[in-house]
Structure 1
Amino acid sequence: MIDKDGYRPNVGIVLCNGRNEVFWGKRVRQDSWQFPQGGIKHGETPELAMFRELREEVGLRPEHVRILGRTREWLRYDVPREWVRREWRGHYRGQKQIWFLLRLTGRDIDVCLRATEHPEFDAWRWNDYWSPVASVVEFKQQVYRLALEELQHFLQVDNQPAKVRRAYGYGMKAHNGRY
């Protein structure tokens, strides 16, 4: 389902733990890391899509998380033409997303990257709140920054730039795909 402007409705998920570190997933068979995200199906609300994507990509159910907040408006990013499927070229521009900030109320062991037959991630780790902005693929960086800026008031998060915080090695505990 693509809107008249060429954007596919989507949800993004910022899942944080009790230390305000965020879940960072490694795409299957790629050296690419990102937040969980996915399309909104016809008839689905953004919240229902978020819970479905959370279950499919991270293996967590509603009882494992608490919603802390969401972005007020759609945030958009354009996908580079070479990344767009040929059949979509000409009418597809990118994604428009509603972002949710969730608190993990369950445990790390509740994360299950193999909750479906087609997992999105093969590893994950907790990261400092701001470091994903500099680490995600370039065309998503602006949306990540906007989402994190808007959602930060739901947490008490240091406004320190990601570059400085990464220099000190904050939030780099990794988990392999066995979860």
Structure 2
Amino acid sequence: MLDREGFRPNVGIILLNAQNEVWWGKRVREHSWQFPQGGIKYGETPEQAMYRELEEEIGLRQEHVKIVGRTRDWLRYEVPDHFIKREIRGHYRGQKQIWFLLRMVARDNEVNLRLTDHPEFDAWRWHDYWVPLDVVIEFKRDVYQRALQELSRFLSWPAHAGQERRHTPRYLRQPHPQRGQQATAQTVPAEPQRAAEQQMVLVPGKR
């Protein structure tokens, strides 16, 4: 289902824990990370599609989360031609997304990445809200930045966090001294990347 401009209606999900960390999933057999997302089927509202995708991709149901906020309007990204099937080139341009910010009210062990026969992710972890965008496929990065920035207004930050840390993405600010020297999103060397992957929750039987 495409609109007149060639964009497919879609939802994106930013899932928070109690510490305002976000759920960060590693795509199956890839070294890229992303938030859950998926298309809106004919007759579905964005909210209905969001709950369906939430269950299909990470195994959580409506009772496991609370809606904190959503983007005011569609956020669009175009997909490069070499990622588009030949038969729909010239018709399909990309995705237009409504993004939802959710609070998880269930335990971590409720997450199930293998609920369907075609899982999207093979590992996951909690990450600071301002995720490093260099591990996101390039054509989605601008939408991720805009979604995170817009939805950050719904969050409450600890008083000691400081004004600069509450509203400035990690990839645009200096590392916090308590967390040590970490790379910015533009340059993530191998060691921090391996350290991050050591903390993630792996799915048995997946690489």
Q: Whose radius of gyration is greater, 1 or 2?
A: 2
Deviation readout 1:20-42 (Å, 9 max, x if unpaired) = 11011111111111000000000
Q: Kindly state the Cα deviation for residue 137 of structure 1 after the two structures are TM-superposed.
A: 1.0
Q: Answer yes or no: is 1:167 the counterpart of 2:182.
A: yes
Q: Kindly state the Cα deviation for residue 83 of structure 1 after the two structures are TM-superposed.
A: 0.5
1:34–1:132 contact (8 Å) kept in structure 2: no
CA distance in 2, matches of 1:87, 1:129: 38
Q: May I ask how many residue pairs the two structures share in their alignment?
A: 178
C-alpha RMSD of the superposition: 1.9
Deviation readout 1:126-162 (Å, 9 max, x if unpaired) = 1111124343111111100111111001113522332
CA distance in 1, matches of 2:156, 2:138: 27
Amino acid at match of 1:116: T
1:77–1:96 contact (8 Å) kept in structure 2: yes
Question: What TM-score do you get using the length of structure 1 for normalisation?
Answer: 0.93
CA distance in 1, matches of 2:168, 2:96: 27
Deviation readout 1:79-99 (Å, 9 max, x if unpaired) = 011111111100111000000
Greater RCO between the two (CA within 8 Å, min separation 6)? Answer: 1
Structure 1 residues without counterparts, runs of 5 or longer: none
Moved over 3 A (4+): none
Amino acid at match of 2:8: R
Q: Kindly state the Cα deviation for residue 174 of structure 1 after the two structures are TM-superposed.
A: 1.1
Amino acid at match of 1:159: H
Question: What TM-score do you get using the length of structure 2 for normalisation?
Answer: 0.81
How is 1:80-159 mapped onto 2 (pairs within 5 angstroms)?
80-157=80-157, 158-159=166-167
% identical aligned pairs:
61
CA distance in 1, matches of 2:38, 2:170: 25
CA distance in 2, matches of 1:149, 1:12: 14
Amino acid at match of 2:93: R
Equivalent residue, structure 2, for 1:74:
74
CA distance in 1, matches of 2:71, 2:134: 20
1:2 is paired with a residue whose SS is: coil
Amino acid at match of 2:18: G
CA distance in 2, matches of 1:161, 1:146: 11
Amino acid at match of 2:117: E
CA distance in 1, matches of 2:156, 2:127: 16
Equivalent residue, structure 1, for 2:202:
176
